[in-house]
Amino acid sequence: MLQRLKRLGSYLIIIVLLPYIITVFLNGPAVTTSAGADEGVIMVEHEGKETEMSIEEYCIGRLAKEIPVSYEKEALKAQAVLVRTTVYGQILEAGSSTVLPDEFWTTDEMRKQWGAGKYSANYDKLKSAWEQTDGQVLMYGDKPANVPYCRLTNGNTRDGAEVLLSEDYPYLKIKECPLDIESKEQMRTIILDEMDVEVTGTDTAGYVLSVRAGEETVSGEEFRKTYGLASSCFTLQNYEGKLRITTRGVGHGLGMSQYTAGRMAESGSTFDEILAYFFEGTELKEVTDIVRDTE
């Protein structure tokens, strides 16, 4: 009788463990990851109102707004890591009750931008990029890295020390992006009324650091935003009563060039290789590791 009970107990253990045994056999032993780390909720600001959203929904909305969905999957995955790194960096710095202000698209805005016919496929593509980077963030030392990005450089990214006036970001180095020069968006020109302005400072990569406007000096980025310029790399030319402004690239030029990331992905680079190129010296880690280290 005792022997029969032992055999019955063994059968029950096998039945209970059978799904796990099959999983291990097919996929290898389980590894502790950050699965579920992106399932929390956060407070965000949208159209002047504060609302609660899941981290995943918010971050997919960020992806939709920040990078063309037509880009290769590995480039989208690289952007997903940048979004997650930024979001968790903000949460760790300000606390879980912080209201995140960065712009994003709601599902209704995605439908409006893409059209109803493309919405499902595009959303699924971004969701897949988000899930396939499951909880991964870029770290420098024991902190989330500062991970800026731009759509297109003037052919080189910028040096973080020159732009941010700090030595805290040694991983933001000048990186060559020669393919950016080939983009149809590389150069743009706008014409304004003539004004008393001149560029008074540029950085090593050729981006404007300062502009004298009359008796006032403003930063190149401030001047770019004031006049809606495509890039912080620009030249000024007064001619026949008009001011001609010619820009190169799209955005501030710091961090990852999305255009080059897209071309690297087309050539077979993986998302981690793309990130290693633009943020040299950083390391991919799991969100759960960061949270554990701060407890």
* Residue at token pair 């020390």: 161
pLDDT at residue 93, rounded to an integer: 86
Residues in contact with 288: Cβ distance below 8 Å, sequence separation at least 6, in sequence order: 32, 33, 34, 37, 135
101/270: higher pLDDT: 270
pLDDT at residue 220, rounded to an integer: 96
- What is the identity of the amino acid at 28? G
Average pLDDT, whole number, for the chain?
Answer: 87
Of 1-15, 85-99, 225-239, the one with minimum mean pLDDT is: 1-15
Residue 243 has pLDDT above 70, yes or no: yes
DSSP assignments along 193-247, one per residue? E--SEEEEEE-TTS-EEEEEETTEEEEHHHHHHHTT-SBS-EEEEEETTEEEEEE
pTM: 0.84
Residue 147 has pLDDT above 60, yes or no: yes
pLDDT at residue 292, rounded to an integer: 58
pLDDT at residue 36, rounded to an integer: 58
Pairing of strands 234-239, 216-219: unpaired
Residue 288 has pLDDT above 70, yes or no: yes
174-232 pLDDT, tens digit per residue, is 999 999 999 999 999 999 999 999 999 999 999 999 999 999 999 999 999 999 999 99
Tokens at residue 242, please? 């008009």
Instruction: For residue 127, give Cα distances in angstroms to 62, 133, 164, 218.
Output: 11, 10, 33, 40
Residue 265 has pLDDT above 50, yes or no: yes
pLDDT at residue 47, rounded to an integer: 86
pLDDT at residue 8, rounded to an integer: 38
Residue 235 has pLDDT above 50, yes or no: yes
Residue 2 has pLDDT above 60, yes or no: no
35/279: higher pLDDT: 279
**Banded pLDDT at 50 (limits 50, 70, 90):** very high
